Chains A and B, each alone.
Chain A
Amino acid sequence: MLQTTSVGSFPKPPYLVAARAKFAAQKISYDELFELEQKATRELIEMQERIGIDIFVHGEMERGDMATYFAEKLKGFTISGPVRAYGNRYYRKPIVSGDVTRPEAMTVAMFEYAQSLTDKPVKGMLTGPYTMCDWSFNNFYADRRALTLALAEVIGEEARALEDAGAKYIQIDEPAISTRPEELDLAIEAMGIVTHGMKAKTISHICYGDFKTIYPKILDLPVDQLDLEFANSDFSNLEIFKDPPFTKEIALGVLDIHSHTIESVGQVKEWILSALEVFPPEKVYIDPDCGLKTRTLEETEAKLKIMVQAVREIKAEKGWE
Chain B
Amino acid sequence: MKTTVVGNYPKIPSSKDGVNLRRAINREEKGKISSVELEEIRQKTIIRTINDQLDAGVDIITDGQIRWNELTFPMATSMTGALPGGLRRFYDNNNYYRRPQVTDLLTRTKSFVTDEYKFAAEQSDRPVKAVLCGPITFCDMTDNFYYKSFDKTAEAITDLLAEEVSDLISAGCKHIQIDEPSLPLFKHKMGLARELIDRIFAGTKVESSIFIYFNSIAPIAEGLFDLPVNGIGLDLVSHSGDIDLLADFDPDKTLVAGLFDGRNIMLENEKKIRASIEKILTYLDNDKLILSPSCGLEFLPQKYAIAKMKRMTEIAKKLSAGKGK
Q: Do A and B bind each other?
A: yes
A positions within 8 Å CB-CB of B: 80-88, 90-91, 93, 95, 134-135, 137, 139, 176, 178-180, 208-210, 232-233, 256, 258
Q: Which B residues, 1 to 35, have Cβ-Cβ distances below 8 Å to chain A?
A: 10-12, 14, 22, 25-26
Whether A85 touches B95, Cβ cut-off 8 Å, given contacts A137-B266, A258-B86, is yes
Instruction: Tell me which of A81, A85, A87 has the highest count of chain B C-beta atoms within 10 A of its own C-beta.
Output: A81
Instruction: Tell me which of A87, A134, A180, A210 has the highest count of chain B C-beta atoms within 10 A of its own C-beta.
Output: A87
Interchain Cβ contacts under 8 Å between A and B, 30 examples: A81-B14, A81-B301, A82-B12, A83-B299, A83-B300, A84-B10, A84-B11, A84-B298, A85-B94, A86-B69, A86-B70, A86-B87, A86-B95, A86-B96, A86-B98, A87-B69, A87-B98, A88-B26, A88-B69, A90-B22, A91-B94, A134-B94, A137-B264, A139-B266, A176-B94, A179-B89, A180-B92, A208-B88, A208-B89, A232-B86
Q: Does B283 sit within 8 A of A, measured CB to CB?
A: no
CB pair A95–B265 under 8 Å, yes or no, is yes
CB pair A88–B303 under 8 Å, yes or no, is no
Please give, as numbers and ranges, the residues of chain B lying within 8 Å of A81 by CB-CB distance.
14, 301-304
Specify the chain A residue showing the minimal Cβ separation from B96.
A86
User: What 1/0 mask marks residues of chain B from 274 to 312 whose CB sits below 8 Å from any chain A CB?
Assistant: 000000000000000000000000111111100000000
Given contacts A83-B10, A84-B10, A88-B25, 9 further A-B contacts (CB under 8 A): A81-B14, A81-B302, A82-B301, A85-B96, A93-B301, A180-B92, A209-B89, A210-B89, A258-B87
Please give, as numbers and ranges, the residues of chain A lying within 8 Å of B98 by CB-CB distance.
86-87
Instruction: Tell me which of A82, A83, A91, A178 has the highest count of chain B C-beta atoms within 10 A of its own C-beta.
Output: A83
CB pair A80–B87 under 8 Å, yes or no, is no
Instruction: Tell me which of B26, B87, B92, B266 has the highest count of chain A C-beta atoms within 10 A of its own C-beta.
Output: B87
In angstroms, Cα B96 to Cα A258, docked, is: 12
Count B interface residues, CB 8 Å.
30
Specify the chain B residue showing the minimal Cβ separation from A229.
B86
Q: Which B residues, 34 to 58, have Cβ-Cβ distances below 8 Å to chain A?
A: none
Specify the chain B residue showing the minimal Cβ separation from A87.
B69
Top 7 nearest A-B pairs (CB, nearest first) are A81-B301, A86-B96, A232-B86, A208-B89, A88-B25, A179-B92, A135-B94
B positions within 8 Å CB-CB of A: 10-12, 14, 22, 25-26, 69-70, 86-89, 92-98, 264-266, 298-304
In angstroms, Cα B304 to Cα A137, docked, is: 12
Please give, as numbers and ranges, the residues of chain B lying within 8 Å of A232 by CB-CB distance.
86-87
Shortest distance in angstroms between B280's beta carbon and chain A's nearest beta carbon? 26
CB pair B89–A84 under 8 Å, yes or no, is no
Whether A84 touches B265, Cβ cut-off 8 Å, given contacts A93-B301, A233-B86, is no
In angstroms, Cα B89 to Cα A116, docked, is: 38
Shortest distance in angstroms between B67's beta carbon and chain A's nearest beta carbon? 12
Please give, as numbers and ranges, the residues of chain B lying within 8 Å of A93 by CB-CB distance.
301
Specify the chain A residue showing the minimal Cβ separation from B266.
A139
Please give, as numbers and ranges, the residues of chain A lying within 8 Å of B264 by CB-CB distance.
137
In angstroms, Cα B20 to Cα A17, docked, is: 18
Shortest distance in angstroms between B20's beta carbon and chain A's nearest beta carbon? 10
In angstroms, Cα B298 to Cα A104, docked, is: 34
Please give, as numbers and ranges, the residues of chain B lying within 8 Å of A82 by CB-CB distance.
12, 22, 301
CB pair B86–A90 under 8 Å, yes or no, is no
In angstroms, Cα B261 to Cα A25, docked, is: 33
In angstroms, Cα B12 to Cα A308, docked, is: 40
In angstroms, Cα B95 to Cα A80, docked, is: 17
In angstroms, Cα B70 to Cα A95, docked, is: 25
In angstroms, Cα B26 to Cα A232, docked, is: 24
In angstroms, Cα B11 to Cα A224, docked, is: 41
Specify the chain A residue showing the minimal Cβ separation from B69.
A87
Whether A208 touches B22, Cβ cut-off 8 Å, given contacts A82-B301, A256-B86, is no
- Which among A90, A134, A135 is the interface contact of B12 at CB below 8 angstroms? A90
Shortest distance in angstroms between B11's beta carbon and chain A's nearest beta carbon? 7
CB pair B265–A137 under 8 Å, yes or no, is yes
Specify the chain A residue showing the minimal Cβ separation from B298.
A84
Please give, as numbers and ranges, the residues of chain A lying within 8 Å of B97 by CB-CB distance.
86
Please give, as numbers and ranges, the residues of chain A lying within 8 Å of B301 by CB-CB distance.
80-83, 93
CB pair B96–A208 under 8 Å, yes or no, is yes
Please give, as numbers and ranges, the residues of chain A lying within 8 Å of B93 by CB-CB distance.
179
Please give, as numbers and ranges, the residues of chain A lying within 8 Å of B299 by CB-CB distance.
83
In angstroms, Cα B69 to Cα A137, docked, is: 22
Specify the chain A residue showing the minimal Cβ separation from B303.
A81
In angstroms, Cα B302 to Cα A209, docked, is: 28
Please give, as numbers and ranges, the residues of chain B lying within 8 Å of A137 by CB-CB distance.
264-266
Shortest distance in angstroms between B295's beta carbon and chain A's nearest beta carbon? 13
In angstroms, Cα B22 to Cα A85, docked, is: 12
Please give, as numbers and ranges, the residues of chain B lying within 8 Å of A180 by CB-CB distance.
92
In angstroms, Cα B94 to Cα A149, docked, is: 20
Instruction: Tell me which of A85, A88, A178, A180 has the highest count of chain B C-beta atoms within 10 A of its own C-beta.
Output: A88
Please give, as numbers and ranges, the residues of chain A lying within 8 Å of B12 by CB-CB distance.
82, 90
Specify the chain B residue showing the minimal Cβ separation from A137.
B265
Please give, as numbers and ranges, the residues of chain A lying within 8 Å of B303 by CB-CB distance.
81
Please give, as numbers and ranges, the residues of chain B lying within 8 Å of A91 by CB-CB distance.
94
In angstroms, Cα B89 to Cα A34, docked, is: 34
In angstroms, Cα B10 to Cα A180, docked, is: 24
Shortest distance in angstroms between B39's beta carbon and chain A's nearest beta carbon? 15
In angstroms, Cα B303 to Cα A232, docked, is: 35
Please give, as numbers and ranges, the residues of chain B lying within 8 Å of A86 by CB-CB distance.
69-70, 87, 95-98
In angstroms, Cα B93 to Cα A93, docked, is: 13
Specify the chain B residue showing the minimal Cβ separation from A138.
B264
